[in-house]
Amino acid sequence: MSLSLRWVGKEEHERVGRVRALGFAPALMDHPDAAKIVSRLRLIAHYVDTLPEGFELPEREPLADDERDVIVNAFLESSHGQVLAESPEFSDDAVLRDLVATVVVTAHDLLNGQPLRLTPQSIELLSMAVRGGDLDDERLTLVPLVLRAFVPYAHERNGWGDRYLADTLLAIG
């Protein structure tokens, strides 16, 4: 049975669509990004439906501590990391190092072991994943600052230059 927009308003129609699409997660209904989440879930469902029969992803290799530390140290020693470290929000070096490590590990896990492959699409997923983690409120407010410094660094390391930089920074929000 489909709803007619004559009987309910457009907002109610969209809300009912979200309820139907996210029946497994009713707590998300009042989330401000519920429409974005639903559209991404539909996109994921489409891709999953197109996978060949019996398809399996290979096991992901976790990022070893020493590999993580190499990436974190290289970033913090770069001009991007130095500017971030000198900002008044990061008077505690341990907090900065911990946040950068969180971003690197989360990006590695999300992006098939390529934590520097930050595109406009992947940075949105990374932002949501980091914010959905176990960071306290004070550190959550610092995540966009870390991402805005880490993205140009990652793009430089990938040799992308400014090609996608503005769009990726804009996607951080």
Structure letter (DSSP) for residue 33: T
Q: From first to last of the 173 residues of the chain, give the pLDDT tens digit.
A: 444 444 556 666 666 665 565 554 555 566 677 777 778 778 888 877 887 888 776 777 899 999 999 999 999 999 999 999 999 999 999 999 999 999 999 999 988 899 999 999 999 889 888 888 888 989 999 999 999 999 999 999 999 988 889 999 999 97
Distance in angstroms (rounded) separating the CA atoms of residues 121 and 115? 14
Interacting residues of 154 by C-beta distance below 8 A, sequence separation 6+:
115, 116, 117, 118
pLDDT at 10: 63
- No. of H helices and E strands in the chain? 9, 0
Q: Which of 111, 110, 100 is CA-nearest to residue 142?
A: 100
pLDDT at 32: 72
pLDDT at 2: 44
pLDDT at 39: 80
Q: Which SS3 state, helix, strand or coil, does residue 152 take?
A: helix
pTM: 0.69
Task: Assess contact for 112 and 60: CB atoms under 8 A.
Answer: yes
